[in-house]
Structure 1
């Protein structure tokens, strides 16, 4: 009876650990959703003439052309746009996969699946796609904050509030009445 009880206790503890793991994952879903909502990827053509900004799911948020890109003609512009669009959508998908994997764990191998799929779709190697992901991750990583803030400015010049505007001369009759009311001595 004791061996059966110990086995039941062990299984129950495993079950509770699984529940805690699921709870931990669900607790991070709000943060993951917020990161995914704010996701933006930007790609620029090699000549700098076309810039595409994409969001979650590869949604195109913005497309910009320079005058030089427009002057190259319809076929060149179309080719540059399609290549830049593909790069921006691909980056958004890779970054989305990284965010999901960070919050949900690596059990699915999601990033690897996205990289392998893109390598086939884009006609490139898995290594090249991994290299792009590493470059993007390095570009997105926040700069390390200095440990000693004693020599750092706390407020940037733009953060200082503007001085209050001087009162307008003259003003309304009500303003004049109030100024006279308080300026006169009883």
Structure 2
């Protein structure tokens, strides 16, 4: 009976560990959603005449043309626009996969799946796409100051103190105010 009990305890601990893993993965879903909503991927045509900005889900948010783009033949401009849109949408998909993988765990292999699919689609290599991702990776944002006061005084700051407002001028007040003041003054005696 003891061996069965130990086996049940081990199974229960394994179950709790799995639940903790799921809790950890979903703890920062709001942060992931925020990052995804702010996602932008920019692609520029090789001749620099067309620039496309894609957002979450590959939505095209902006298309910009230079004066040179407007001098191109319609077929050439159309091809440049379509190619640049494809590149921006592809970069958006790679960035989304990286954000989801960062927050949900890299055991999902989302980035690898996206890279393999895009390499096949665009006739390039996974390594080439990874290199593009590394080039486009933003520098990490500055870490925000936490409310950890272990190294700071909570009583005094190094920042100049803002002037305090002057106390309100005494007013005559109403009869009720004087009554309450006298009542409390009498209780203190």
2:48 is aligned with 1:48: yes
Looking at structure 1, the residues matched to 27 and 4 of structure 2 have their Cα atoms a distance apart, in angstroms, of: 34
Once the two structures are superposed, residues 105-149 of structure 1 have per-residue CA deviations (whole angstroms, 9 ceiling, x without a partner) of: 122211000000000111111221121112122xx123779xxxx
Displacement after TM superposition at 1:89 (Å): 0.5
TM, length-normalised to structure 1: 0.73
Rg larger in structure: 2
Looking at structure 1, the residues matched to 25 and 126 of structure 2 have their Cα atoms a distance apart, in angstroms, of: 29
Aligned alpha-carbon RMSD (Å): 1.5
**Larger CA deviation: 14-23 vs 125-134:** 125-134
Q: For residues 128-167 of structure 1, what are the structure 2 equivalents within 5 Å? A: 128-137=128-137, 140-142=138-140
Relative to structure 1, the CA distance from residue 77 to residue 143 in structure 2 (aligned partners, 3 Å threshold; closer, same or farther) is same
SS of 2:64's partner is strand
Q: For residues 97-176 of structure 1, what are the structure 2 equivalents within 5 Å? A: 97-137=97-137, 140-142=138-140
Once the two structures are superposed, residues 12-36 of structure 1 have per-residue CA deviations (whole angstroms, 9 ceiling, x without a partner) of: 1111111111111111111111111
The answer for the alignment partner of 2:94 in structure 1 is: 94
Once the two structures are superposed, residues 67-87 of structure 1 have per-residue CA deviations (whole angstroms, 9 ceiling, x without a partner) of: 111111211111111121111
Structure 1 residue runs without a partner (length 5+): 146-186
Looking at structure 1, the residues matched to 140 and 63 of structure 2 have their Cα atoms a distance apart, in angstroms, of: 26
The answer for the alignment partner of 1:182 in structure 2 is: none
Displacement after TM superposition at 1:7 (Å): 1.1
> Any runs of at least 4 consecutive aligned residues in structure 1 with deviations exceeding 6 A, and if so which?
none
The answer for the alignment partner of 1:78 in structure 2 is: 78
Aligned length, in residue pairs: 143
TM, length-normalised to structure 2: 0.72
**Larger CA deviation: 92-101 vs 4-13:** 4-13
Looking at structure 1, the residues matched to 90 and 20 of structure 2 have their Cα atoms a distance apart, in angstroms, of: 34
2:37 is aligned with 1:37: yes
Structure 2 residue runs without a partner (length 5+): 144-189
SS of 2:35's partner is helix
